[in-house]
Amino acid sequence: MTNQTIATAVGRYIRTSPSKVRRVLDQIRGKSYTEAVLILQFMPYRSSRLILQVLQSAASNAEHNYGIAKSKLQIVNTYGDKGPILKRFRPRAQGRGYPIRKPTCHITVQVQEKIT
């Protein structure tokens, strides 16, 4: 990485699996902001809507904090980390309890001005 300013946005405690988020993040890593927004709008996955919100937040941070136009942004780094797992129980036959794991994740998107 260069010594340019990097704007970051983090979506925390999002109720979806990190593996489902990572497959979408791999598609937009390294792309320009406008191209990534188009990709995310037409992807059939639920996590793409959540990632789009975080990406738009990162672009707004870059525009507000550093004065970089959204059209000049490029996605530098994206990752989906594992968050805490909500543990629940579902009743089953003969008085048993069956554990249910509801995973959460933290989505991080970093953008910077395109190097031309």
What are the structural domain ranges in the chain? Answer: 7-113
pLDDT of residue 8 exceeding 60, the answer is: yes
> Does 29 score more than 90 pLDDT?
yes
- In the chain, the amino acid numbered 34 is T
Query: What pLDDT is attached to residue 102?
Result: 97
Query: Residue 36 is encoded by which pair of tokens?
Result: 């990534």
Question: What predicted TM-score, i.e. pTM, was given to this entire model?
Answer: 0.90
- In the predicted structure, residue 1 carries a pLDDT above the cut 80: no
Q: What is the pLDDT of residue 3?
A: 61
7-113 maps to CATH 3.20.20.70:
no
Average pLDDT estimate for 27-55: 95
Q: Is residue 10 predicted with pLDDT exceeding 90?
A: yes
Do 28 and 41 meet the contact criterion of CB atoms below 8 Å apart? Answer: no
